[in-house]
Structure 1
Amino acid sequence: MQTIGLVGGMSWESSLVYYRDLNLGVQERLGGLSSPKLVLSTVDFAELTALEDAERWDRIGELLAEAARGVERAGADFLVLCTTTFHKVADQVAAAVGIPLLHLADVVAEAVKAAGAGKVGLIGTTVAMSDSFFIDRMAGHGVEVIVPAPAHHDFLNTAIYEELVHGNVVDDTRRRVVGIVDELWDAGAEGILVGCTELELLIHQSDIDLPAYPCTTLHVNAALDRALA
């Protein structure tokens, strides 16, 4: 079994999901008392969000690269960033270490293609929806990604940062997000990327009619495939 290196803390709710689901996944696959070999480094989310607000992505990249080097030194065989938004600096992080980075967009694109979809909607943070880093990486795999109208971006971002990162799941927020998903369906989406770990606490397949692609779940499964290969 390979050792999975996790860079988390963005938010701790996200790190919790990765840690829990990696353990559950190994138990399901291997049984008994089996558990994954993990190295986890978490960052100060308040520091990173302040830098994000100041558009100091260079510094964010430095901090995440430092954390990645730490898990590499601790024996990780490959790296997982427990976040969608901060994949914006994934190339900078990958360049700082000698172990491979399991990029979220690569994993998600393969799952979308395997399902036979070519156009999907993305819900996530404002950065993930308005910046091109994730969408362009998906396009490189032949998958078109569309996002909600800009008028919805602040609402989704607020739901993530003011409710879900604190573990608060609000029914009214869920209903409004389902309405946004319906708009993406009308715009031609063949599926929905639940593109933020915290959003997976809110939106499940049973909530929407379109196929849901829970990005964190896909990322975890790909990490397990690699670790157990």
Structure 2
Amino acid sequence: MQTIGLIGGMSWESTAAYYEGLNKGVQERLGGLHSAKIVLASVDLAELTDLQEKEAWDQVSEILVAAARSVVAGGADLILLCTTTFHKVYDEVAAAVDVPVLHLADALAAKSKELGITKAGFLATRYTVENDFFAQRISDHGVDVNLPDPLHVEMLDSIIYEELVHRTVVSGSRKRVLEVVHELWDAGSDGVILGASELSLLVRPSDVDVPILDAITVHVEAALNHALPA
């Protein structure tokens, strides 16, 4: 079993879901008392969000590169960035270490194609939706991306940053997110990606009859496929 490096804290709630998912996955695949070998570097979301708002991406990169190097020093054989928005500096992080950094968009695109999804609705933070660094990477794999309208993007961003990063789950917010999911389905999507990892705290695939790809679940599966013996 390889050791999985996590760069987390963006937010800590979603990082906890990564940790739980990896350990459950190892137990399901290997049985017995097996658990995941994990090295975690957790960063301060407030600091990174402030730098993001200032467009100080060089400083964001420095922080996440240092985190990546620390998990490699701790024995990590591969790395997950436990975030969508801060994949903005993926290239810098991946270039700074000599172990694979598994890109979330690559994993989501591969899973979409596996499920026969050719046009995916995409829910994420406002920054991720309004900038094409993430959705374009999915499209580069041959999966079209269908984005919500600007008002819904703003609503989703508010739910993520004002509720979910504080682990506050509001039933009314769940209803509004599900309405956006169905609107994307009606607009021609044949599946919907929960691109912000925090959204998995609010919506589960069993909540709707639309194919849902949860970012954390898909990223965890990709890591397990890489880390565990076939």
Question: Residues 208-223 of structure 1: matches in 2 within 5 Å?
Answer: 208-223=208-223
Q: Give distance in 1, aligned partners of 2:61 and 2:177.
A: 30
Q: Give distance in 2, aligned partners of 1:158 and 1:197.
A: 14
Question: Residues 60-209 of structure 1: matches in 2 within 5 Å?
Answer: 60-209=60-209
- 1:90-134 superposed Cα distances (whole Å, 9 cap, x missing partner): 111101111111111111101100111110000111112111011
Q: Give distance in 2, aligned partners of 1:110 and 1:157.
A: 26
**Structure 1 residue identity aligned to 2:197:** T
Question: What's the offset of the Cα at 1:207?
Answer: 2.2
**Structure 1 residue identity aligned to 2:227:** A
- 1:76-99 superposed Cα distances (whole Å, 9 cap, x missing partner): 111110111111111111011111
1:56 is aligned to 56
Normalised to the residue count of structure 1, the TM-score between the two structures is 0.97
Q: Give distance in 2, aligned partners of 1:157 and 1:76.
A: 32
Q: Give distance in 2, aligned partners of 1:34 and 1:177.
A: 36
- Aligned-pair Cα RMSD in Å: 0.9
Question: What's the offset of the Cα at 1:33?
Answer: 1.0
Normalised to the residue count of structure 2, the TM-score between the two structures is 0.97
3-state SS of 1:120 partner? strand
**Structure 1 residue identity aligned to 2:121:** G
Q: Unaligned stretches of 5+ in structure 1?
A: none
Question: What's the offset of the Cα at 1:196?
Answer: 1.4
**Where in structure 1 do 4 or more consecutive aligned residues deviate above 2 Å?**
206-209
Question: What's the offset of the Cα at 1:206?
Answer: 2.5
3-state SS of 2:206 partner? helix
3-state SS of 2:134 partner? helix
Question: What's the offset of the Cα at 1:208?
Answer: 2.2
Give the number of aligned pairs.
229
Question: What's the offset of the Cα at 1:186?
Answer: 2.0
